[in-house]
């Protein structure tokens, strides 16, 4: 099964493409979340284009790694990653949240090929990932399981029940990633329900905790390598990020959590990224067949 091996510059370029996709699809839909998708782009790109063993051409491969975004509302980045990786044509991104499209506002296993589990209700995803990890081990399957969570989601009690479960069963094949941008829909996480010190909490639940700059691709690569090498306990990557990363007027502003940019704002954002809304939309419209992601395939 192909596991891509991209170097740092290639991953940085792919992350830029993903950010452009996010802004363009939000501009077309005029509905959806901006802040979280942009903050999770860099570690998401490393997951899809280097770390995970996935095959968009064979979705039911029993040896595939499994992934689940518990923060289901960040579908702009989920779908952009999937399209760039070749799960479906890039042009489909322009049907985001449209009645005739297959890309719903929250991920649906029944509508989007490649989604393992439908999601949306916060706090549940880690429990799902624990089931995937334990079930895989019981079946003798050596796959890894990845679960992406938000930092506001750490306020949910079910997260900590799942954390106890994973540590008790020593699920070393499980790696969680927390998009630690310190913002949620109503403001700063610490003002609404403080979660610090988050590193100490996870350590006390007997997880291997890795803190990293969530926008430093080289550091993210090292973090996943450490998680992969860890034995006897699950790993969690605390990815310190900036909400709205890559768009000057969105960065570190919680008000962009759940709203899209206008077409004018999207064009401004894309100009900051070296293109225009017209140019990037045209790029998406041209690609009516799934892309074949660059990189050297290797067996897991």
Question: What is the predicted pLDDT for the residue at 282?
Answer: 97
Question: What is the predicted pLDDT for the residue at 121?
Answer: 86
State the DSSP string of 267-280: HHHHHHTTS-HHHH
Q: Which CATH architecture has domain 8-286?
A: 3-Layer(aba) Sandwich (3.40)
CA gap 3, 53 in Å, rounded: 5
Q: Are 58 and 23 in contact (CB under 8 A)?
A: no
Domain boundaries along the sequence of the chain: 8-286
Tens digit of each residue's pLDDT (9 = 90 or more) over 217-272 = 999 999 999 999 999 999 999 999 999 999 999 999 999 999 999 999 999 999 99
Residue 105, Cβ density class (10 Å: 0-12 exposed, 13-18 middle, ≥19 buried): middle
CA gap 12, 8 in Å, rounded: 6
Is the pLDDT at 297 greater than 70? The verdict is no
Question: What is the predicted pLDDT for the residue at 207?
Answer: 98
Tens digit of each residue's pLDDT (9 = 90 or more) over 128-153 = 999 999 999 999 999 999 999 999 99
Share the mean pLDDT of the chain.
Answer: 95
Question: Please, which residues have CB within 8 angstroms of residue 41's CB and are 6 or more apart in sequence?
Answer: 15, 18, 19, 22, 77, 80, 245, 246
Question: What is the predicted pLDDT for the residue at 292?
Answer: 63
Question: What is the predicted pLDDT for the residue at 100?
Answer: 86
């Amino acid at each position: 099964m192909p596991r891509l091996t991209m170097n740092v510059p290639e991953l940085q370029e792919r992350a830029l493409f993903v950010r452009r996709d996010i802004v363009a699809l939000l501009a077309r839909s005029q509905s959806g979340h901006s802040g979280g998708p942009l903050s999770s782009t860099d570690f998401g790109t490393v997951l899809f284009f280097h770390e995970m063993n996935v095959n968009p051409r064979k979705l039911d491969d029993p040896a595939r790694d499994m992934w689940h975004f518990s923060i289901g509302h960040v579908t702009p980045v989920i779908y952009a990653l999937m399209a760039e990786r070749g799960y479906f044509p890039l042009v489909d991104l322009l049907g985001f949240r449209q009645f005739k499209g297959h890309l719903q506002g929250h991920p649906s296993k029944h509508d989007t090929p490649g989604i393992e589990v439908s999601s949306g209700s916060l706090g549940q995803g880690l429990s799902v990932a624990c089931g995937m990890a334990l079930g895989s081990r019981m079946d003798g399957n050596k796959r890894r399981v990845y679960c992406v969570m938000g930092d506001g989601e750490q306020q949910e009690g079910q997260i900590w029940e799942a954390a106890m479960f994973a540590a008790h069963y020593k699920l070393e094949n499980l790696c969680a990633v927390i998009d630690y941008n310190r913002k949620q829909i109503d403001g700063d996480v610490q003002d609404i329900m403080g979660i610090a010190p988050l590193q100490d909490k996870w350590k006390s639940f007997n997880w291997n905790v890795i803190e990293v700059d969530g926008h430093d691709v080289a550091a993210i690569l090292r973090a996943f390598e450490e998680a992969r090498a860890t034995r006897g306990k699950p790993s969690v990557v605390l990815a310190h990020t900036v909400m709205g990363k890559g768009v000057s007027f969105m960065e570190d502003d919680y008000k962009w959590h759940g709203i899209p940019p206008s077409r004018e704002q999207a064009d401004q954002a894309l100009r900051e990224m070296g293109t225009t809304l017209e140019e990037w939309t045209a790029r998406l419209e041209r690609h009516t067949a799934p892309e074949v992601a660059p990189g050297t395939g290797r067996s897991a």
